[in-house]
Structure 1
Amino acid sequence: MKSFYSKTIFIALASILLFAGCQRDDICPASTQTTSLLVMRFYDIEDRETPQAPINLRIKAVEDTSVFMLDVNRDSIAIPLRTDQDITSYEFTFNYAEEEDPDSPVEQNNTDIIDFYYAREEIYLNRACSFKINYSGLNARIDPGEDGAWILDYVIEQEEVENENNAHISFYY
């Protein structure tokens, strides 16, 4: 019986010490604003007020072999910008298909490469959350690729990428 009490007291003390070792500032709260994603909206080129989702949009980082987004059919998306460089390049493929369908009424696998340029500002948040990056002076350049551009125009809505509340850039196709 004495052994049982000894073990119980030992476990209780060990638990108290374990939880006392974690301080409140060791955990980054979910409500803390960290590095924001770049928010993009897509619109119809002929009716620039009407949002239009691209068909089977595939987004892939140019310097990486992995696909970031596949078969996206939304008129608004958010993607990360690089935190270690002042440029991020993505391939945006319209109507992506693994194998092209010759009977498809819409051109398949039309890829534009978009380079996003910006300046980075590193901001210290706290010990638990570390740093976040704000981007300023956002600009873009579209390389239409071999099949010609499917993105025909763009407008920078906000040059500062500090939150994800509104679109930073609008694409028209």
Structure 2
Amino acid sequence: MNAITPIASKIDLTGLLSAIAQADADDSMSNPLTPAQWDTVSAYLQPYAVPAGHVLFSQGATDRTLYLVESGSLSVHYQDEKERLRLAIVGPGSVVGEGAFFSMRPRSATVQASAPTKLWTLTALRFTELTNRQPAIALGLAMAAGAVLAKRLGNRRRRVAAT
């Protein structure tokens, strides 16, 4: 994962929850948790501000971090020896990184900020901690991210956009 700037502020997920509630893309994340459960999850998330043009992660990278998008826009693209193909634009209320998060395989695509973007990261280690301490909450979050993955895999055009 490339270095990105942590946002120095109190953990407040209001913007993220609003983005999830207002998102209308086919592959947006649903909100499976109560406000009290999100308060619990907030202790496991790390906020990040990503400037436009910044590569969040590269195709082939082996980290398993899941990224929840609060604001901004991310471009997902695949590179082969011949060309670079844009697979998707991901906006507020969705996630990226779900493919590697669940599969433990290298990233299938590169994700780059196409606008200044605010993200919330959940590393595999922090998710394991959440699972051990709050299994019902972890399950709800995993089901929501898994639903995004299933939607993307079910959409032929976006199938390889499951990063």
TM-score by length of 1: 0.26
- If asked which structure has higher relative contact order (CA below 8 Å, sep 6+), I would say 2
Please identify the structure whose Cα radius of gyration is greater.
Answer: 1
